[in-house]
Amino acid sequence: MAYNPATGATILFGGQDPRGGADGDTWIFQGSAWVNLTTSLLVAPPARWGGGFTYDARDGYLLLFGGRNSTQFFSDTWEFEGDQWVQLHPPSAPSPRTTSLAYDPGDLYVVMFGGSWENLTTGLSVRYSDTWTFNAGRWSALPDSGGPSAATLSPQGSGNLVDDPADGYLLDPAATAAGAATVWTFTNGSWSERPTNLPPPASVLSGSDAWDDDGTSVLLFGGGNPTVANNQTWLYRDGTWVNLTAWASPGPPARGGSGLIFDGTGNFALLFGGGTVPPNGTDWGDSWSFTGVPWPTVTSSVNPSAPEAGYAASFSALPQGGVPPYSAVWEFGDGGTSAGTTTTHAYARTGVFAANVSLTDGAGATAQDTILLTVIPGLSIHPFASPSPTDVGVTVYFASGASSGVPPYAVEWSFGDGSNGTGASVNHVFVAPGNFTANATVNDSNGGETTHSINVVVNSEPSVAVTAAPSSGCGGGTAATFTAVIVGGTAPYQVRWDFGDGIAAAGNLSTEHRYATSGSFVVAVTVTDAVRGVGSGSVKTLIPACSSGGLSFFVEVELGAAVVLAALAAVVLLQVYRRRRLLLRRGLRWRW
């Protein structure tokens, strides 16, 4: 049985009837019904079963080779084009045998591998392991293609050769002589044995197979051994076998030797006929369609598309096709792994990484996808406040110091005193003293978010208490010591003293001043802190006058002034003395 995509028709030729004889009729399946073309044919191949039959896309017709009936094996070559058979006469051909054919779209020729022949008189059988190609009407042997040897195959020989376009090779599932299942692939003129996961039982590999375009995988059904037939349904894709028997039930009854192709017109796999093991077996003339479940695929994504180092990115695996439920395993390319169709992962460093997800569906079919992503520097913030520490009532400037990530940034502030603000920079006035924790929360345009805290110390406005400690002296030249005690404010401080005698000067919190005269003075101090907070205080001080006998007018005279007065008194006395002598020389006398 073979499908001709050019005409959209499935052609069935020959087969084995329930009595063990060979059929030679030709049928066409179009739409949903079989139509017997036998009576309309001008010529047809001799009746047979077991021939290789496939569509030759290069030459544009269905190609039939070999097969057998109950009395002989064939090595003739036929084409079916339009609605008629034509026998071809290539100059050489493979030996008579039952076999299978498949068109290789990569190499543009039909491939035949192996097959079997039996001496119908003696019962001696031969298993072949040769490879032939059919191209432009000619058969050619490929002597060194590297296929499995006949000795390694089971008595049933190789399986049915089928094109696997999804994987880009011809597939030949086969059972070994030791009873193990194996898979051989053919591409670029060479065979390779391909490792697989848990394969079907070896007996299944003698079943019927076909490419299932709807399911995008190779479909395998039935088969058996000389004593037991089975009805298992399997799919193959890229080295992976999946047992769909439970999912596909109820399926056709157990059988082997069925015709199985993908009918592109109906878009389903079509199975016809087959039988079970004689002598009490059943020969089937039923038709079944298989609407395959598509082989699962998975599309992975990451959000954001360019994750930031240090921040968790969301990974998602979206399965399509296959059989639920699905499981997924992630490898993020940095040594990290996770499980689940959705997960998160944070990269610790920047760079380019390949994140791979492996999806497994409920039937065991697998699919993979890889994201190549670039991890960029993560959002970071270094908030600061100025001035800090500060005073109550002083405007404090806050800035987030956001960098990296993906700008623009959105910044939310909480100042720790019940007030909030927004913006990359913002001003705030604290109305009470205390230690406050201000939080800056920054979100960038890539979904990055971070919060950082800074402490702000808010002092009360500065106030000043002043004390005076005069010396034990008196009068001019006496020194007094003054001390200012500051409460609140923000260090360092600038101090300015006004001593009440017309003299003012900057100084320290403790200072000394010498007064020129005695008296009562009001001493004031003004303190300016680091944030221009101002506090002031004052104190009265008394510089006592000095006393000498009853001459109170000398009390507050400095030593220099006393000298001046004494000098003046001496001058006056000297003048009085000279006046008296002058009067005595003139004969004048004082009279008392």
Q: Is residue 558 part of a domain?
A: no
What is the predicted pLDDT for the residue at 575? 54
Distance (Å, rounded) from C-alpha 373 to C-alpha 367?
20
Report the C-alpha gap between 313 and 300 in whole angstroms. Answer: 13
Q: Please give the Cα distance from 16 to 353 (Å, whole number).
A: 59
Q: How far apart are CA 526 and CA 543, in angstroms?
A: 22
Q: Can you give the pLDDT at residue 203?
A: 73
d(CA 162, CA 169): 9
- Cis peptide leading into 90, omega within 30 of 0? no
Q: What share of the chain has pLDDT > 90, as a percent? A: 62
Q: Are residues 67 and 96 in the same domain?
A: yes
Instruction: Please state, for a pLDDT cut of 70, what percent of the chain lies above it.
Output: 88
**pLDDT reading at 577 higher than 70:** no
Note the Cα 239 to chain centre separation in Å.
Answer: 27
Distance in angstroms (rounded) separating the CA atoms of residues 537 and 494? 14
* Most trustworthy range by pLDDT among 71-80, 110-119, 358-367: 71-80
Would you say residue 556 lies in a domain?
Answer: no
- Asked if pLDDT for residue 552 goes beyond 90, the answer is no
Residues 418 and 345 in one domain: no
* Tens of pLDDT, residues 498-532: 999 999 999 899 999 999 999 999 999 999 999 99
* Least confident among 101-105, 252-256, 412-416: 252-256
The reply to whether 503 and 591 lie within a common domain is no
d(CA 592, CA 532): 78
Does 206 have pLDDT greater than 80?
A: no
Confidence at residue 548, expressed as pLDDT on a 0 to 100 scale:
63
Compute the average pLDDT of residues 379-404.
95
Distances (CA, A) of 256 to 223, 228, 230, 260, 324: 4, 10, 8, 11, 30
- Would the pLDDT of 73 be above 50? yes
Q: Cα–Cα distances in Å, from 437 out to 257, 381, 389, 399? A: 82, 16, 12, 14
User: Which residue type is seen at 186?
Assistant: F
- CB 275 within 8 Å of CB 289: no
| Domain-terminating residue out of 459, 494, 525 | 459
| Residue 351 and residue 323 share a domain | yes
Asked if residue 115 belongs to a domain, the reply is: yes
Q: Is residue 301 part of a domain?
A: yes
pLDDT in tens, 284-343: 889 999 987 788 899 999 999 999 999 999 999 999 988 899 999 999 999 999 999 999
The strands making up 240-243's β-sheet, listed across from edge to edge, are 208-212, 217-221, 233-237, 240-243
Looking at the structure, tell me whether residues 143 and 228 fall in a common domain. Answer: yes
What's the pLDDT score for residue 172? 85
What pLDDT was estimated at residue 550? 37
Instruction: Kindly state the average pLDDT of the residues 382-393.
Output: 96
- Whether residues 108 and 248 share a domain: the answer is yes
Query: Which residue range(s) make up the domain with 312?
Result: 297-375
CA angle 182, 186, 190 (to 5 degrees): 115
The one-letter code for the residue type at 201 is P
Q: Are 537 and 464 in contact (CB under 8 A)?
A: yes
Res. 453: pLDDT tops 90: yes
Could you tell me if 520 and 540 are in contact, meaning their C-beta atoms sit under 8 angstroms apart?
A: yes
Q: Which of 375, 400, 423 is the last residue of a domain?
A: 375
Omega prior to 165 cis, within 30 of 0:
no
Domain boundary, last residue among 290, 325, 353: 290
Instruction: Please report whether residue 549 resides in a domain.
Output: no
Q: What is the DSSP letter of 8?
A: T
Residue 343 included in any domain: yes
**Angle formed at CA 21 by CA 17 and CA 23, multiple of 5 degrees:** 60
Question: Which three-class secondary structure string do you get for 444-470?
Answer: CCCCCEEEEEEEEEEECCCEEEEEEEE
Give the CATH number of the domain where residue 74 resides: 2.120.10.80
Q: Calculate Rg over the CA atoms of the chain.
A: 55
| Rounded Cα–Cα distance for residues 532 and 555 (Å) | 45
DSSP label at residue 296:
P
- Could you tell me which residues are beta bridge partners of residue 507? 495
Measured between alpha carbons, how far apart are the two ends of the chain, in Å?
178
User: Count of domains in the chain?
Assistant: 5
Half-sphere exposure of 566 (CA within 13 A, CB side): 8
Same domain (yes/no): 455, 477: no
In a domain, 140, yes or no: yes
The pLDDT tens digits of the residues spanning 173-191 come to 876 656 667 788 899 999 8
The one-character DSSP state at 204 is: G
Does 276 score more than 90 pLDDT? Answer: no
Dihedral pair phi/psi, residue 581, rounded to 5°: -60, -40
CB 498 within 8 A of CB 559: no
Confidence band for 578, pLDDT divided at 50, 70 and 90: low
- Please check whether residue 560 lies inside any domain of the structure: no
Q: 351: helix, coil or strand? A: strand
CA 195 to chain centre: 31
- Given this model, what pLDDT does residue 559 score? 34
- Considering the domain architecture, whether residues 209 and 340 belong to the same structural domain is answered as no
> Looking at the structure, do residues 467 and 454 belong to the same domain, yes or no?
no
Element (DSSP H or E) covering residue 580: helix 559-585
Instruction: Report whether pLDDT(588) > 50.
Output: no
The CATH number linked to 420 is 2.60.40.10
Q: In what order do the strands lie in the sheet with 109-118?
A: 101-104, 109-118, 125-135, 138-141
Please give the DSSP secondary-structure letter assigned to residue 521. Answer: E
| Residue 574 pLDDT > 90 | no
Q: How far is it, in rounded angstroms, from Cα 409 to Cα 390?
A: 28
Do 453 and 468 lie in one domain? The reply is no
Q: Based on the domain organization, do 317 and 336 belong to the same domain?
A: yes
Cα–Cα distance for residue pair 54/100, rounded to 1 Å? 8
Is the same domain home to 94 and 234?
A: yes
**What string of H, E and C letters represents the secondary structure of 483-513?**
EEEEECCCCCCEEEEECCCCCEEEECCEEEE
71 pLDDT higher than 80: yes
